[in-house]
Structures are given as structure tokens and as C-alpha cells.
Amino acid sequence: MQLPTGTYTLFTAPHTNGVDLIVNKQSGQWGTEYNGSLDLGTARMVSEVATATVEEFTISIIPSDDRHGTLVLEWGSLRWIAPIEVQ
């Protein structure tokens, strides 16, 4: 999925085979207000068991070079990852 520069809200949709990352144009909302008509796209994330329990929900980007990296979402014993690329 390609995204223009901007501000977005990230949602996740867990299912039996993993989790989907949803990128949504809506921003500034409170809590979990979700308007699916504003979705820009979805991407499948790989589910892993975290090596250590993460007490606070954490979003990280781990760079691998100037244009590539990994988006990591962690909470408790869950770890979801997806590759990212800056064009």
C-alpha cells in the first residue's frame, strides 16, 4: 500500500491467521471512533510472540537502511510486524 505524506490513524483487525493493519485518513478522534469509509488501505502483519512482556502498547519503526524498515506493534506478549519502505 502506498501512502502520501500526511497524518493518519492506525487500527488493527485481529483474526485467526494474524492481524491486519488498517490505515485510516481520520485523525484527531477520541478513543476508538472508526469510520471505515475513510480507510486508505490494509496490510497483513506477521504475528509473533514477544521475547519479553511489554507493559505499555508500543509502536516502533526499526530501520534497516535509509529507505527500508519494519513497523512493530507490541503489547503484552503480542508482537506484530510489517515491512515498510519510504519512496
Which pTM value belongs to this model? 0.81
Strands 39-63 vs 68-85: parallel, antiparallel or unpaired? antiparallel
Closest CA to 54 of 79, 71, 31: 79
- The number of angstroms, rounded, from the C-alpha of 33 to the middle of its chain's C-alpha atoms is 17
Tens of pLDDT, residue by residue over 54-71, are: 999 999 999 999 999 999
In the block, cell 488498517 appears at: 22
pLDDT in the model for residue 83: 93
